[in-house]
Each structure stands twice: as structure tokens, then as C-alpha cells.
Structure 1
């Protein structure tokens, strides 16, 4: 466990699940460690069940304001609260320290941590790493941005358990002392400009995962990404020995993970482990092969058995909404990649399938941003684009200028029907929207579930048609 020092008067910022989990944890520590807990929900917060529960537990709950009154020893910010917001600034002025929930969790229980970040691929890599460790008899919990709060896991953690934490840029921006045993960076592409204000701030937040690493820790970086390659060189200069991961070449590095003749290879501290071939994996696409290499390197470094890692890699299935196979209807594969809410994720997704055979559905609520690379990649890779929803005009116009064939549809259901009409046996219909979902859905999960329901309706129609044909033949 951590140093278990006195935390004093603590203010928790936010009124979501993270804020409740943090407040509950702090209230459970007792007066010998925490003298008071105040929860400030922010200007948009209002009375509700969560606020009532926290008040009943003993927290002072302040709603409907960004003001932070009083003096505090510690402020713990929820990840949705930007460091440039009024609420964060007021808390900084009123507190000796401002940190985020993962930092608090690490300070409370710093042993056996693996941290994973990147613009895309975090959830798959986090889930896969925990899967590999558990398969090897090394208890591991996948927590953080993936869903379960880290602080909740700390409260019930087994002494031998590994914490595998998916860490967003929001969460990393408020870290101070965090030092995972293994720190992984998958990629950095423009995202979350509304939160970080500048791309430089976003990069700086991602880099914080390496800030406190020592010579006994392992940084793991996918150096096919130029920013990751630059950061790996800087880690060399600090005297660390980063594991460079690539799916395009064999990195010139003592610690490295790469593909050789279609096989995953990991070399750490002079040991070379040959893992499964890419065609044995349930995951598809070069970006997922990189994710698998990162997860394998992390697991092997902390003591996982190579033979068991190999078997577990083969047995790992794609996660929901992340290049998730749904069904094959009339010879056409339908794939749900609803989690692809930025253009870089879509570029990676379409590259997972044969060029010229992909009908990709893009659209939703436009996050803005440059479309140059996105349009170039789709023009080279896809058979057709179906643009739908609020963003269809801007995306469709840019893609047409790049030479793509573009069909237009008002809503997702119309987009699926348009894709069905144009797709031929052997093609892939891929939902990979490049946008958030808030024009039509509550989130990418609801969007993905709706897509799968629509595909299942197509499959049911096909089945009923076949049954009618057989009945007529009889």
C-alpha cells in the first residue's frame, strides 16, 4: 500500500460516477486520515440521487456553482473537468494540491501497476493485457477509462493483484507521482482539443505516463507513430530502456516487439519469445497486431509465461464496438466499429480489410478537425462511403473531392440500407463513423447496438427468404 498519510480536508470536483467513487473511498478512510470531504458538482450540477447519497454518507455537497469556498489540503478532479475550466481553477486556488482519481489511487496503492494510454486502441490493449495476466494465474483488473473506477478497485484489491489501468489524457493531465511498473503509449493523433486547448497540451498529458519511470520500469511505445518514436528517443536519453513496438520493421532497440514472417516476436532483456502468427488471432488489422505486441510485452516483462501468453492471445475475442464482427448476410461481412469517433481510428479500421472491398458508414456529430489524411486513406482503400447524419455534408463533400464514391443518408438505418444495396459478396460493410454519436444516439454504445440490431434484421430477412424458397421447392 501507499504511505497512508493524513489527507486532511479534501474537495472532490464533479458529480458523476468518478466523483461518487472518490468521495465514498475518502469517507471510508475515517477521521484519522480524512478530516472532511466536500463535493462541488459544478455550475451545471443539480440535486439528485447521487448528491443525496453522498450527503447521507457525511459529505458536504455543493451544487450549481463553480465556486470553491474554503481551504483544502487536497482537491481530486473528475476526468471530465478541464484544467482550464473555472471549477478547476477555483479548486487550485483553494487547495494545496489538485490531482485526479488515478493519481489518488496510485498514491494509495502503488504496487503492481501497468498503465496504458494512446489516442486509439487503449481499451483493447488494456483488456488484452489483463486477459493475458489472468490466463497466467496472475490476478489482474482492467480499470480506469475502460469503465470501472481505479479507486474502487484499490478499495477491494487483493495483495497480489495487478492493476491494468487505461489512462486517458484527461486523467494523465492531473498526475504528479504516478509510476507504473510498465507504461505503454500506443499512438498520438489530434483529439480532445476542446479539453486541452492545444495539441501540444494533449501530447504533454500523454507523455506524463512516463514522467516518473525509473530504470527498473519498462516504457512500451509503438514507434510506427512519429510522436511515439520521438518520445522513445527521449526516454533513451533519460537512461531508460524502452521497448519499441513496430508492425512495419524490426526496431533497432535492445527491447523490442515486432512481426517477422507474420509472427509476433517480443525481445526483452536478451530473451526472445516467439508468439502466435497474426492469422491465428481473433483481432484483425495492423493496429491490433501492434496492440497485441504491446500487451504481450507488458505481460512478459512482469513475469507471464510465454506459452500461456501465446494460447491466451489466440483465445482473445474482439471487444464490442471495436472492429467487432456482427454477421455475414448475402456474402457480405458486417462489422461494428462504433467506437471509432475520430478520423485516425477510421483510417486504421479500413486498413484492416482488403482494399476496394469496404463500404464504410461515416457520420454523426462532427467533431471538426482536418480531413486531409482521412480522405486520402479512404480514397485509396474503400469501395464506397455512405455519409449520414449531421456530419454528412462536410464529410461527404471532402471525400468526393478526394475521389471517393459517396452516398448520402439522413439516419443510420437509411445508411445501412444504402450500404446493403451497394455491397456485393466478399465486401465488408463497416460502421466506423469518425464522429461522436450525439446527433442521433446517447453514445457510441447505443449507436453500435442499433447497427447490430439493423444487421440482425437483414440476417433475419435473408433467413426467412431462404425458408420460403425451400418451402416452394418442396
Structure 2
């Protein structure tokens, strides 16, 4: 292993990166290759790329990289093939987040690379010493929270960029050199391959089962998320923001609270308590810091010995209790970085909903439509259903089934919605979870539609099945009256009918525009 002599103008980067191996040519893989190509012959002695499966795009990129001096190989044995051309080992490996640790490529890299680090950590190491980092992770809400933090910081005059899974990759932003504060949305995939990554502020939102096909167990998924806290004690004045309303995260809050402050080595701010977002952890367990929704409905953050009553939750443009949590998380992060309470409050007032996240997208004859296509798991849809306390929406559920437990979804849908339309590949299993009979019990109020394969009605709840999203939307409109809400919040991935949740959401918005324009 090479002796590490670090650069003075980088956070934690060696003078020589040596022989570098990049796994995969996804978005972050391509960005990493581009960055290392600029260093080839200087800090990078050899750049090897295990490109994964062949595609027209990957072959085109690989050819261009080879022309600039990189070594590229495709297939499951690519790492061994490249090692034979690189003196049998690599000094550093940077895997793309889509490559799981148990895959042949990753396992080969474990045997042949001195160090494996995620692109987010590589970028953090390569950033300037004075730059600051906020890392945001969690099962749901991280994109909104990340965008909110960047908005608050930018509104206060800082050169902040949302990076990682939102915006540019981390290494692209570092290479650009125009950012003071990197607000990184980091996934469990990326965190699993971090070693020394130490943000100034770590935001850990809810943790519920997801991505188990990649991590194999929930415990591995949870532990990957917790790695966002692992090195905070090495960073002076680091702060962790933790969603204490989530059982898994609350257990970590309790563990941190039990530690001696010197042993812990960083400050933490719990949001809410197990009782909910209105809980004040100072009262619940004697925490020094807290973030919560006060009895008067004010977003309140206590950090560093100061209490800040920021603004009323009613002033937020983003809907739902989960977005109150996102706003509290972002506000706490901004306050921890020195932004004034007045600037934080003003920034919160002006933050608009992100695309595909309970996004208002117009109305059809007085029926208000919301696009929550980003809700690709049950927990996200539960939050969306609770975001409309003033009405009972008609919700569109379905898509590419993740096979998760549907009991909580069924209970919440019956409680909060007046109707649901199940569609897509998941429709049959979702309908079965609602115990839908094979034929409609009553169709007296529902126009005929060949795509409706079954339905169930009761005094206060109706369930329909449809083949595609468009059919589901039309079925929902047939049930709706002026003032009602139609909510696309599928609780599923999109890959049965669409290439991504973004495409699904944009198709939904186009359907709303078309039906509105034609007065249907």
C-alpha cells in the first residue's frame, strides 16, 4: 500500500492517487472517469474502468476514454482482466452506486484494491479545506430536504449547490470549483462504501425497508444509512440532525444520548419524539437540542443553546406533516452552518414543491390533481395520504410492484382516501390486499370502461382496478366531484409502463393538462 502524503489544498486527498479503478459507467461512474482522465499522467498513474454490461452508450463512452489513455473492460471478469494489465492491483477503487457489494465486480475489487470509496467520499476528499458539506439521507424525503437546505443557504447569500442524487454529481461540482457548501443527497448505496467521509452536518431522516434487493437485509440497509454519522466525531463542530419520530432513528438517538458528550464528539438535534413531530426531546429525555412543531403550530429549533421560533407551518408552500419534518431538518442544518433565523424563516416561506413530490399540477373541472410519482414505496404514499386532512383524496396506486407489505397502505388508504384505483403490474396484488371480489358489487355510479377489471364499493370507500395510468386517471375523474383531490402516489416503482418515476409523473401532468383543456 502506498504511503499517503496529502495535498495541502484538499480536504483529505493524497498527492498521488496511483492506480485508480472505476466500477460501472452510470452517471457517477462517468463523472469519476472524466475527473480522473484530467489527472492521468500526473496524480493518476493508471485509470482502469470495469464498465459492466455493454450498451451503445457505454461502448461510445468507453471508446472515448480509451482514446484518452484509460483501460476499459466489459463483463463480470473485467476487474481481473484489468488487474492483469495494472501490475495485479489497484490503489483506489471508486464503485458506481448501482453495483451492489455482493456482485462479481465489487467482490473482485475487494480482493485487488487497497481502498474502495464511494464517489461522494472521493469528491469530499478532493474538495477544498474551507468548503463545507451537508449530507442528507433517509428512505423518503431526502430530495426535498436536500433541495430545501440548498435553497435556504443560497437565499442567505452562500454559494450552495444540491449535488449527488440531485443535480450534478459530487465530483462534477468539486471539479467546477464554484461551490462553498455542498448539499449532498446520499443514498444507502453510496454510504455503504464510505470510509472517512465527515460532513459538517449530517441529516438522517426516516428509515423504513427499501432497496433490500441491493443490501439483502434490512439490517445492512439500516447500517449503511447510519454510516452518515460514523466520522462526525473527527470533525470539529459537526452536527447531526435526526428524525426521532422514526423508530429506527429514535433508537440511534437514544444510543447517542447515553454517550458522554466527549465520547460522542459531536452535537445532535433530534426532530420530534416517538410521539410525533410535536414532541420536544428536551422534555422527553433531557436533550440539549431539539426541533419540533410547537403547540402554536410554529416550526421551532433549539440548537447551540438558542431557541428559534421560525414560522407557522401554515406558511409553508409544501404540504403534509412529512414536509414539516423536511423543513425542520433543513432549517436545523442551515442554523448549524450559521445562517440567521430570519434568513431561514424567509427561505422556508419561498420554497415551492419539487416536481413529482405532492406537486400541484392543475385541475379538471374543479377536481384538483397532485403528482406524487416519486412515492415509489409504501412509506412515501402513507405520508402523501396524510397530507390532505381537509379532504379525502382519490388515490392512484400501482406500477412495478416491490413486493413489500401492503397492510399499512390498505389501512391508511381506507382511513384517509374515499377511493383508490389500482393500476399496472401491481394492480392484482394491490387489489387482493383490499380483498376485492372478482366482479364489481356495484357499478351504478361508475361509467363503463373496458379497462376496469374489478371494483368494490362500500358506504365510504370505493376501489377500482385499471390497466394503465391513463385508464386509472380517467376512472378517478369519473368518481370525482368539484373540490375533490386526485392524487397519484403509486407506492411502486414505474418500470412496468415507464422508464422512470419522472416520466410517469410528467405523463400524469400531461394527462391533467389534456383533460383540463378538453373539459373532460
Instruction: Say yes or no: TM over 0.5.
Output: yes
Residue 469 of structure 1 corresponds to which residue in structure 2?
Answer: none
Q: What displacement does 1:355 show?
A: 6.6
Q: Secondary structure at the match of 1:200?
A: helix
CA contact (8 A) 1:400 1:406 kept: no
1:216-248 deviation line (CA, Å, top 9, x unaligned):
210101111011111112223253431011223
Q: Distance in 2 between matches of 1:52 and 1:31?
A: 19
Partners of 1:400 and 1:384 lie apart in 2 by 14
The CA deviation string for residues 109-146 of structure 1, in whole angstroms up to 9 with x for no partner, is 26400000000001000001000001111110100011
Partner of 1:62: 73
Q: 1:65 to 1:84 in 2, by over 3 A?
A: closer
Unaligned stretches of 5+ residues in structure 2: 1-9, 84-88, 437-455
- Alpha carbons 1:281, 1:316 under 8 Å: kept: yes
State the match for 2:393 in structure 1: 358
Residue equivalent to 2:443: none
Q: Check conservation: 2:76, 2:104, Cα contact below 8 A.
A: no
Q: Which moved more, 1:395-404 or 1:142-151?
A: 395-404
- Counterpart of 1:273 in structure 2 is 308
C-alpha contact 2:391 2:485 (8 A) present in aligned 1:
no
SS class of match (2:49): strand
Q: Tell me the CA shift for residue 251 of structure 1.
A: 1.8
Superposed displacement of residue 68, structure 1? 1.0
Distance in 2, Cα, partners of 1:219 & 1:190: 22
Among candidates 210, 215, 232, match of residue 253 of structure 2: 232
Say if 2:35 is the partner of 1:15: no
1:106 maps onto 2:124 in alignment: yes
Q: Does 1:251 align with 2:281?
A: yes
Work out which of the residue numbers 150, 171, 177 in structure 2 matches 1:151.
171
Aligned: 1:2 with 2:11: yes
Deviates further, 280-289 or 146-155: 146-155
Q: Secondary structure at the match of 1:386?
A: strand
Partner of 1:305: 340
Per-residue CA deviations over 1:335-389 (Å, capped at 9, x if unaligned) read 0000000000000001000276210001111011111211111121110110011
Once the two structures are TM-superposed, the CA of residue 330 in structure 1 deviates from its matched residue by 2.1
Shift of 1:196: 0.2
Deviation at 1:57, TM superposition (A): 2.2
CA positional deviation for 1:412:
0.7
Q: Does 1:178 align with 2:197?
A: yes
- 1:25 equivalent among 27, 35, 48: 35
Q: Is the contact made by 1:44 and 1:65 (CA closer than 8 Å) also made in structure 2? A: no
Q: d(CA) in 1 for partners of 2:114 and 2:166?
A: 30
- Relative to structure 1, the CA distance from residue 30 to residue 41 in structure 2 (aligned partners, 3 Å threshold; closer, same or farther) is closer
Matched, 1:161 2:180: yes
Q: 1:422 to 1:133 in 2, by over 3 A?
A: same
- Mapped partners of 1:410, 1:183: distance in 2: 42
Contact 1:14 1:77 in 2 (8 A): yes
Q: CA deviation at 1:108?
A: 1.4
- Look up the SS of the partner of 1:316 in the other structure: coil
Partner of 2:159: 139
**Who is 2:63 aligned against?**
52
Give the equivalent residue in structure 2 for 1:348.
383
| Mapped partners of 1:95, 1:30: distance in 2 | 18
Alpha-carbon distance in structure 1 between the residues aligned to 2:435 and 2:355: 31
Which residue does the alignment assign to 2:512? 455
1:201 and 2:220 are equivalent in the alignment? yes
- The SS at the match of 1:99 is coil
Shift of 1:52: 1.8
Cα distance in structure 1, aligned partners of 2:496 and 2:184: 31
What are the Cα deviations for residues 54-88 of structure 1, in whole angstroms up to 9, with x where unaligned? 11222111123343121111111000000111110
CA apart distance, 1:45: 5.3
How many residue pairs get aligned? The number is 462
- Asked whether the equivalents of residues 40 and 47 of structure 2 are also in contact (C-alpha less than 8 Å), the reply is no
Determine if the alignment matches structure 1 residue 405 to structure 2 residue 462: yes
Given the two structures, how large is their TM-score scaled by the length of structure 1? 0.94
**How far off its partner does 1:329 sit?**
2.3
Hey, what's the Cα distance between the residues in 1 that align with 2:103 and 2:348? Answer: 42
Residue 374 (structure 1) aligns with: 409
Identify the residue that residue 370 of structure 2 maps to in structure 1: 335
Say which of 458, 465, 489 aligns to 1:432: 489
Aligned counterparts, 1:286-325, within 5 A: 286-325=321-360
| Helix, strand or coil at the partner of 1:413 | helix
Q: Which residue of 1 aligns with 2:5?
A: none
How far is 1:30 from its partner? Answer: 4.2
Shift of residue 310, structure 1, vs aligned partner: 1.0
The 5 A counterparts of 1:81-96 are: 81-96=99-114
- In structure 2, how many angstroms separate the alpha carbons of the residues matched to 1:4 and 1:375? 50
Indicate the SS of the match to 1:242. Answer: strand
Shift of 1:43: 4.2
Number of the residue aligned with 2:446: none
The alpha carbon displacement at 1:44 in A equals: 4.8
Alpha-carbon distance, 1:266 to partner: 0.9
- Secondary structure of residue in 1 paired with 2:72: strand
Cα distance in 2 between the residues matched to 1:384 and 1:219:
40
Is the CA contact (8 Å cut-off) linking 1:360 and 1:429 kept in structure 2? Answer: yes
